[in-house]
């Protein structure tokens, strides 16, 4: 008989192999309702229980419990709550002219319904619930409202998990707006950040330059720091090229008078200033052809004296170096 339980009936699965053994070892059309009466789904106030009690004490009602057809035929004459078989797999197999023994996987359908008698009309039947008997296990079919509610709850739970996962994904930056992935640094943004990092020549900084620079540094990370440094060095190199492009400096500058190719040592500091070049002096590679006079005895003597003086001066410079 039915027992009071705290667990909802649509979450209960009941089976009793002992009762099946007592009823002959398998379930059939004549004992399926009596096996169902032993489950917690059965209602002791139903017409099934009343008719079974009358048949056990009154021999005149004995034949009503011998077959299911006679038992359900007697229930149709009564009014109130009743349990009837809505689907019989053995009867369905017999109608299809298929002969086989009752396998344990056949499904029986039992309905709990309320019957109202109407004079001159057919009985009014309201189905309250449906039960399935699979083998020797009995369970209650859930209602449509619970099925829909369960599906809605599953959908809401999945959407909640999705929103919790997607909520930290959006990222906002002034340069890229709202994005779902960290933006990659662009060359234009890198050059702009390097330009904004240089101090402004005006008295007041450009509006928003500090905020944009901070945002770009946070977005680009460590890779953007290296790119900004390289870009800054490139800009400084171009500035030096445009400012001192026509000038150069040797690692070991020349010392002495112009025209004497005497190099200084590596560790020796370069002279502070050079003497002004003599008139008519041309740098190496740009020397013009000197004008020579016709060779005369006087010129030869003068040139010989000058060459001796220059040679002595060169030897003296080399000794000093």
Residue finishing a domain among 244, 259, 283: 244
227 domain residue, yes or no: yes
Q: How many domains does the chain fold into?
A: 3
Is residue 1 scored above 50 in pLDDT? no
For residues 281 and 121, the model is more confident at 121
* List of E strands, 8-78: 13-15
Is residue 81 scored above 90 in pLDDT? yes
Q: What is the CATH number of the domain that holds 75?
A: 3.10.450.580
pTM equals 0.47
Q: Are residues 110 and 229 in the same domain?
A: no
For residues 110 and 197, the model is more confident at 110
> Residues 6 or more apart from 50 whose CB is under 8 A from it?
78
Q: Are residues 19 and 113 in the same domain?
A: yes
Residue finishing a domain among 94, 111, 146: 146
Residue finishing a domain among 95, 129, 146: 146
3-state SS assignment for residue 132: strand
Show the CA angle centred on residue 76, arms to residues 74 and 77, nearest 5°. 70
33 domain residue, yes or no: yes
Q: What is the DSSP letter of 264?
A: P
pLDDT at position 126 is 94
281 domain residue, yes or no: no
Alpha-carbon separation of residue 173 from 180, 182, 198 (angstroms):
11, 10, 22
Q: What is the mean pLDDT of residues 22-33?
A: 88
113 domain residue, yes or no: yes
| Structural domain boundaries, residue 225 | 171-244
The DSSP string of 75-128 is HHTS-EEEEEEEE-HHHHHHHTT------TT-EEEEEEEEEE--TTSPPEEEEE
The 10s digit of each residue's pLDDT in 196-228 is 655 555 455 555 555 555 555 555 556 667 788
């Amino acid at each position: 008989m039915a027992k009071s339980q705290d667990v909802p009936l649509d979450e209960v699965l009941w089976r009793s192999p002992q009762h099946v053994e007592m009823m002959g070892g398998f379930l059939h059309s004549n004992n399926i309702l009596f096996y169902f009466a032993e489950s917690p789904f059965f209602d002791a106030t139903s017409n099934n229980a009343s008719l079974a009690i009358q048949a056990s004490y009154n021999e005149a009602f004995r034949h009503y419990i011998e077959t299911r057809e006679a038992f359900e035929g007697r229930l149709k004459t009564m009014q109130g709550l009743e349990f009837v078989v809505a689907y019989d797999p053995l009867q369905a197999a017999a109608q299809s002219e298929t002969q086989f023994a009752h396998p344990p996987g056949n499904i029986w359908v039992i309905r709990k319904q309320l019957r109202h008698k109407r004079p001159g009309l057919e009985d009014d039947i309201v189905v309250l619930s449906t039960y399935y008997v699979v083998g020797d296990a009995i369970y209650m079919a859930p209602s449509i409202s619970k099925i829909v509610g369960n599906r809605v709850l599953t959908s809401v739970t999945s959407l909640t998990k999705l929103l919790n996962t997607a909520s930290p994904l959006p990222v906002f930056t002034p340069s890229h707006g709202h994005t779902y992935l960290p933006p990659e640094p662009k060359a234009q943004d890198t050059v702009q950040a390097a330009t904004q990092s240089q101090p402004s020549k005006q008295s007041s900084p450009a509006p928003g330059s500090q905020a944009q620079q901070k945002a770009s540094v946070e977005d680009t990370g460590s890779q953007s720091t290296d790119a900004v440094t390289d870009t800054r060095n490139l800009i400084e190199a171009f500035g030096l090229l445009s400012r001192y492009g026509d000038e150069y400096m040797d690692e070991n500058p020349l010392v002495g008078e112009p025209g004497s190719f005497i190099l200084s040592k590596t560790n020796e500091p370069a002279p502070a200033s050079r003497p002004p070049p003599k008139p008519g002096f041309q740098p190496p590679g740009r020397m013009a052809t000197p004008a020579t006079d016709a060779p005369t005895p006087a010129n030869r003597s003068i040139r010989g004296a000058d060459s001796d003086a220059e040679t002595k001066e060169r030897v003296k410079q080399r000794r000093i170096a």
